[in-house]
Amino acid sequence: MESEPKDIIVLGAIKHGIKKFDKIQKTTQIKPEELDSILEQLENRGFILVEKKKGWLGEKIEITVTDKGAKEVEERVHELQTRWNQMSAVYKTGDKEKLKEQMDDNKSFLPMMMFFGVMDMMMFSMMFGMMGMAMSDYVPAESMPEGGDGGMDDGGMDDGGMDDGGMDDGGFDFDIGF
């Protein structure tokens, strides 16, 4: 079950025009050995085509998605959207237990929801706040948007809430009046 979301993330990256191994690896944050294995599986299932082309600097490998692969991505994204809509509806009812249950059921899908932009990150953050939990309890750090937690867990106050708000905090202020 754990490898399946990564398969779809890789397939989605290729569908969105990323055709070279190193760029797929950089975009998906999957280790090269694991990515190689995933690409092999996708090729065996008929979801991608791997073409070797001759270029100025030797042989280039270009990876493209097949119609079958594109259809698979669209179906999975639709499924993710449905799951997200269900989680959002439960959140709006305010039922913490039911929301936690929904999030537990969808834990393996959360990184895919983030990758494909299916979820509303602000609402996702508020869901964790409602349950009194950290996003990192559900989503591995490498799957979170920019900066590990996207600035969400602490309300965006990376300085511990000390935003200087015009207060003198007793620090040193050198003003050499030349």
Whole-model pTM? Answer: 0.69
- Rounded to whole angstroms, the Cα distance separating 47 from 28 reads 17
* pLDDT band at 89; cut points 50, 70, 90: very high
Phi, psi of 58 (to 5 degrees): 110, -155
Residue count of the chain: 178
Domain boundaries, the chain: 3-65, 69-143
Residues 6+ positions from 143 with CB-CB distance below 8 Å: 29, 110, 111, 114, 115
CATH architecture of 3-65: Orthogonal Bundle (1.10)
Q: Given the DSSP bridges, would you call strands 58-65 and 48-55 parallel, antiparallel or unpaired?
A: antiparallel
* pLDDT tens readout for residues 39-88: 999 999 999 999 888 878 788 888 999 999 999 999 999 999 999 999 99
